[in-house]
Amino acid sequence: MCPSISALLSPSRGASTHPLAPLLSSLGIEVVNCAQNLNIVQAKFWQNFLLRNLKVASEIEIAIPRGSRREDFHQKLQKLFQPTKDYHRFGEYGVYDVVVEHCGIEIQVIGTVPYYPFLLAQYNKIFSVLSSVGARTKATCGLHFHFLCETLLDPLPSIIMENFWNLIRFFAPELKYITSAGERPRGICRRRNHNSHLELVKWETGEISLQQIQEFLRKSPQVPEHQNFLNLQHLVFNHKGAISNLHFELRFLDADLCPASLVAKIFLCLSLLLCAIEISQLGRAKCGDSQLWKKKTSILDRLSNNDGTLAESDTSSLTSDDFQFLKEKTEQMLNFLRIVLISFPQNPSLRVLEFLKENPLSFLRARGWSWQNIARVLAQLGKPENREIEIESKLEELINFSEITGCSSEEIWKKLACGLLNLTPDQLERTLFRLARLKRIAWNQEQGSYLFLNEES
């Protein structure tokens, strides 16, 4: 059910009335009030600012085609992609560099502000080239996302990243499951050593700060700093503990040669960050169910380890009950993120993720599916609907030109808008919410209509 735009834009939401509060409780997440809590104005500012300025870059690891020489294949890809080696010069494919890696070759993609239709078109072009030259994956190959913001108008409050760390930590088994892409039932994901969760599960923000955790990760004898499940090495904190340089890396994803899948996973991670901002109005999130956490960490250790043959994780000890647990918890995670995922314009990521919840790439590949077949099926799920684009355009026009005014309440305005645009109430709420992610919307009682506000209002 889509949340009401009125409730989401209300300036007086408290912890008990916040749309996420009951979901957090049902998940087993406790929220502890703290002095660093954001108010609603701060939360909306950071959500809007990051949606407009945060860039997501990727590193796509691939294996050399059988029978090819690494040097020859490397040169061929450099010639095809023409990497710019300049983060501010995009080029035809948006490729920064093509480098030799332990897995074979790594394609480094320049960061852009995430917009689904653009990203899908870009990765379709990149993967079309990779498919044409016979690129493949093997158990050493991973996928990394870099989230970075080149300029912060103000230091980012540390509570946002602390809540993001705790959410990634809490959902680590689900995230590893839904992004697994191994090709054998006994090895559904790659080995732990380049995306280790061992430090992640050890540290929860609250009694210690994220800055302290960063220092622990830097000095860890167990996990090299840059090989953490969530890599914090590029974050810079100022003297007050706020974040002056926002750059973190998510390393837990397995190699992915399917455009719709890769782009949906970008929005999965972005949704967790936006939810961390929402939670920061209530306090600091932490695991509140010790038995649940014990079960999750046990499954995570058996899901991601260094015990498999070659570069695989040995997942043979996971039972059908364990996989059912992972599926159910992944469904809960997506339900928790639904409020954000449906808000992105022209974005079917939720449909793709719900398919992957039932059929992670690892399950499909273990059944013998090729990357081409997987991409073909997910392309249909990941196709933005023309009807949604049309609705957004018409609703934006209706508000811009004040076609409905003089309404005594929001409910009356919505009924008239539904009639004028031939929409159901739920379609209208979803579209209003998506528009609110791009522009600031407010109800104006004097005019009796919704208005778009400028950034300074």
Interval 388-411 mean pLDDT: 88
Residue 348: pLDDT above 80? yes
Instruction: Say if CB 365 and CB 183 are below 8 A apart.
Output: yes
Alpha carbons 105 and 99: distance in angstroms, whole number: 6
Residue 394: band (very low, low, confident or very high) from pLDDT cuts 50, 70, 90: confident
Beta bridge mates, 405? none
Alpha carbons 320 and 173: distance in angstroms, whole number: 15
Candidate from 175-184, 229-238, 292-301, 399-408 with smallest mean pLDDT:
399-408
Interval 394-421 mean pLDDT: 91
Average pLDDT, the chain: 92
Which residues, 6 or more positions from 309, have their beta carbon under 8 angstroms from its beta carbon? 187
Tokens 């706020």 found at: 242
Tens of pLDDT along 199-219?
Answer: 999 999 998 999 999 999 999
Environment class of 241 (CB within 10 Å of its CB; exposed 0-12, middle 13-18, buried 19+): middle
pTM, to two decimals: 0.87
Instruction: Say if CB 382 and CB 352 are below 8 A apart.
Output: yes
Tens of pLDDT along 53-65?
Answer: 999 999 999 999 9
Structural domains of the chain sorted by starting position, each given as residue range(s) with its CATH number in brackets: 15-384 (3.30.590), 387-453 (1.10.10)
- Round the CA-based radius of gyration of the chain to a whole number and report it: 22
